[in-house]
Amino acid sequence: MSNLLGKGLIDGLVVTAKNFVGSYFDGNRKDRLFTYQYPEERMKLPENSRTFPFLVYDGTPDQLRCTACKICETECPPQCIYIVMERDANGKPLQRPRVFDIDISVCMQCGICAEVCPFNAIKMDCDFERSKHGRFEDLLVHLPELLKSNEYYHQIKSAEATRVDATRKPTKKPAAGTKPEKI
Amino acid sequence: MDAIYQLIHAYCPTMPDLLALVLAILLPIAIVMGVFLTVFALLTWVERKALGRIQNRRGPNRVGPVGLFQPIADGLKLLTKEDIVPDAADKVVHFLAPVLVVVPAFLVLAVVPVARGFVPVDLNIGVLFALAVSTASVLALFMAGWASHNKFSLLGAMRGVAQVVSYEVPMVLAAVVVLMAAGSLSSVTIVEAQRGLGGWFVCKPWGFVGFVIFQLCAMAEVARTPFDLPEAESEIVAGYHTEYSGFKFALFQMGEYVAAITMGGITVTMFLGGYLGPGSDLPKIGWLISACWFFAKFGIIVVINIWARGTWPRVRVDQLLGFAWKLLLPLSLVNIVAMAVWHFSPSKLVGWVASAVLLAVAIVALVRLNAGAAFEKRSYRFTS
């Protein structure tokens, strides 16, 4: 009876009928209607996903980890990072950036900056909604926009951030006017 | 028409005779066009939603509540698009084709009895008119393909002509049994002949086979999947309407869709008992209940169409033509014989059994005859 007249046609109809009815009654999201309705609902991005770099700070934004060592600037393949070190009134270099610009229209999201950073200061973000109205100035991201807290880092990549926290030595660099605190 | 004419006379006796006559003619047209254009817009939405669910998608759900205004958005989008006519096209024919494809689709509605006592024109050759006019759309289809001066368009049009001409034959032959049973070509008489419990023609063996043949042919006639070869996207871009854009393209889509709707209406009238059903004969609200019955049965046809479209892949050209000439045509001929057996058999039971057996034997025999060569099972040297 396997070659019954029109059996294949009926089998196909059964499959589509199951899909149709199941899409209304199945609670299981994995099998039916697995599309995320994007602007309203979002998928949790996997930890290894990466878009553009951001700078991590501990506690308050002036306690940023970056020392303006310029390793990321030299290593960046498309040369999209621009750093100017902060100097005090006497011209003595302070270990933090005065200017830290990333041109995200040039950035190719390779993540090499994050890999070479000896201070775990620059990390890759998961935020992909970065479209802007202007092509030039709007896509040049400056220091204040680049700063994200360590908590945010934990939020998007908890396992990696915990690993980083475990290997980090207590910071030597005091934030302006405060005692160094233990991390 | 006469009923409306008398109604106008009864309520406004002062109205001039000519005006009343024009009103009596225009009113049914307006009602039918209004109702069926609304049905058309709704059905595009229903079809897209249902196809989405069949394919584990949600379908359109952005415009309005659950995407209900999607047909309006589509229409507006197509209206505002640029109308491009190819340089090498035959301009006049290229322009006429989309107009002509819509006209026959709507003309068929003239003989579909939508409710008890409501049929725009009760032609005494109603079925003949419907079958003849619905075929006329293939002329527009070929005009479109020819005038576009494009190989894909012409290929699609040639396929369309071959398909419609082939499927016209079993379709008419499947309709013959209904005409034999009703003894008339008038669509209203055909519906009235299906009165009584189990009176619908689809409930009889010859009627059921006729219904299946007619439905398959109707799907092929209006080029719906799995018979949508004239516009097979994977082979010939968009077939005969490759070179059409903007509102002309919309007219093609509308013509096809309305043709599918009217074919559904004809199928309901001929096999599913049209507007008949419990309560359709009540004195005051009978017409409303009968209209509900008509559209409920029409819904069955819609479900069949969408389900088939969502399930079955497109057939090949040789499969398509072979199916019409080698299976449907002989089967519809046997079906006429079965109808004769039914008619001349001494009792109802004998007729039932005799025609059913005859049809079953014919189906099995035709399938056996048409079965392709069975390939012997392959054996491979290096696999166990």
CATH of the domain at A86: 3.30.70.3270
B342 to chain A, minimum CA–CA distance in Å? 25
Q: Which pLDDT belongs to residue A18? A: 85
In a domain, A24, yes or no: yes
> Do A123 and A64 lie in a common domain?
yes
Instruction: List residues of A whose CB lies inside 8 A of any B CB.
Output: 5, 9, 12-13, 15-17, 19-20, 23-24, 32-35, 37
What are the sequence ranges of the domains in chain B?
A: 1-80, 89-368
> Best interface-test mutation with A: which of B46, B47, B55, B56 has the largest number of A CBs within 10 A?
B56
> Do A62 and A107 lie in a common domain?
yes
Estimate to the nearest angstrom the gap between the alpha carbon of B85 and the chain centroid.
Answer: 30
Contact assignment for A24 to B363 by CB distance below 8 Å: no
Contact assignment for A35 to B307 by CB distance below 8 Å: no
Chain B residues with beta carbon closer than 8 angstroms to that of A2: none
Q: Which pLDDT belongs to residue A2? A: 47
What does residue A91 show for φ and ψ, rounded to 5 degrees? 85, 10
> Do A73 and A162 lie in a common domain?
yes
Strand order in the sheet with A53-57: A122-124, A53-57, A147-149
Contact assignment for A35 to B57 by CB distance below 8 Å: yes
pLDDT tens-place string over residues B55-97: 888 888 888 888 888 888 888 888 888 888 888 888 888 888 8
In a domain, A80, yes or no: yes
> Do A27 and A65 lie in a common domain?
no
| Least confident range of A55-59, A101-105, A177-181, B348-352 | A177-181
In a domain, A60, yes or no: yes
Distance CA A70, CA A84 (A): 9
> Do A35 and A86 lie in a common domain?
no
- CB pairs < 8 Å spanning A and B: 36
What does residue A53 show for φ and ψ, rounded to 5 degrees? -75, 155
B67 to chain A, minimum CA–CA distance in Å? 14
Closest partner residue to B56 (CB to CB) among A12, A17, A32 is A32
What value of ipTM does the predicted structure carry?
0.73
Distance CA B264, CA B74 (A): 24
With the C-alpha atoms ordered B372, B373, B379, B380, is the resulting torsion angle positive or negative?
negative
In a domain, A97, yes or no: yes
Q: Does the structure show a pLDDT above 60 at B53? A: yes
Section B135-149 average pLDDT: 87
Contact assignment for B311 to A12 by CB distance below 8 Å: yes
Q: Mark which residues 175-204 of B lie under 8 Å from A by CB.
A: none
Chain A residues with beta carbon closer than 8 angstroms to that of B312: 9, 12
Strand order in the sheet with A93-103: A81-87, A93-103, A140-141
Section B213-228 average pLDDT: 88
Please give the tally of structural domains in chain A: 2
Closest partner residue to B58 (CB to CB) among A9, A17, A35 is A35
Contact assignment for B54 to A34 by CB distance below 8 Å: no
Q: Does the structure show a pLDDT above 80 at A171? A: no
- Kindly state whether B306 is in contact with chain A, defined as any CB-CB distance less than 8 angstroms: no
In a domain, A172, yes or no: no
Q: Does the structure show a pLDDT above 80 at B291? A: yes
> Do A61 and A25 lie in a common domain?
no
In a domain, A93, yes or no: yes
Chain B residues with beta carbon closer than 8 angstroms to that of A13: 307-308, 311
Report in angstroms the alpha-carbon separations of A45 from A33, A52, A157, B220.
Answer: 19, 14, 9, 47
Q: Which pLDDT belongs to residue A176? A: 53
> Do A86 and A130 lie in a common domain?
yes
The three-state DSSP-derived secondary structure of chain A is CCCCCCHHHHHHHHHHHHHHHHHHHCCCCCCCCCCCCCCCCCCCCCCCCCCCEEEEECCCCCCECCCCCCHHHHHCCCCCEEEEEEECCCCCEEEEEEEEEEECCCCCCCCHHHHHCCCCCEEECCCCCCCCCCCCHHHEECHHHHEEEHHHHHHHCHHHHHHHHHHCCCCCCCCCCCCCCCC
Q: Quick one: pLDDT band at residue A27, thresholds 50, 70, 90? A: low
Helices B329-344 + B348-370 axis angle, to 10? 160
In a domain, A180, yes or no: no
> Do A133 and A58 lie in a common domain?
yes
> Do A68 and A139 lie in a common domain?
yes
> Do A59 and A19 lie in a common domain?
no
B226, B271 Cβ separation under 8 angstroms: no
Q: Which pLDDT belongs to residue B353? A: 85
Mean pLDDT of chain A: 83
Q: Quick one: pLDDT band at residue B2, thresholds 50, 70, 90? A: low
| Least confident range of A128-137, B182-191, B215-224, B232-241 | B232-241
- Kindly state whether B307 is in contact with chain A, defined as any CB-CB distance less than 8 angstroms: yes
The residue of chain A nearest to residue B52, with distances taken between CA atoms, is A20
% of chain B beyond a pLDDT of 70:
97
Nearest CA among A39, A107, A170, A137 for reference residue B62: A39
Section B106-117 average pLDDT: 83
Q: Does the structure show a pLDDT above 70 at A93? A: yes
Contact assignment for A19 to B53 by CB distance below 8 Å: yes
What range does the domain containing A14 cover?
Answer: 9-42
- Kindly state whether B209 is in contact with chain A, defined as any CB-CB distance less than 8 angstroms: no
Chain B residues with beta carbon closer than 8 angstroms to that of A33: 56-58
In a domain, A15, yes or no: yes
Q: Does the structure show a pLDDT above 80 at B6? A: no
Q: Does the structure show a pLDDT above 60 at A180? A: no
Q: Which pLDDT belongs to residue A77? A: 92
pLDDT tens-place string over residues B144-158: 888 888 888 898 889
Section B310-329 average pLDDT: 87
Q: How far apart are the first and last CA of chain A?
A: 74
> Do A64 and A98 lie in a common domain?
yes
Q: Which pLDDT belongs to residue A112? A: 92
Chain B residues with beta carbon closer than 8 angstroms to that of A11: none
Q: Does the structure show a pLDDT above 50 at A80? A: yes
Mean pLDDT of chain B: 85
The residue of chain B nearest to residue A15, with distances taken between CA atoms, is B311
Q: Which pLDDT belongs to residue A1? A: 42
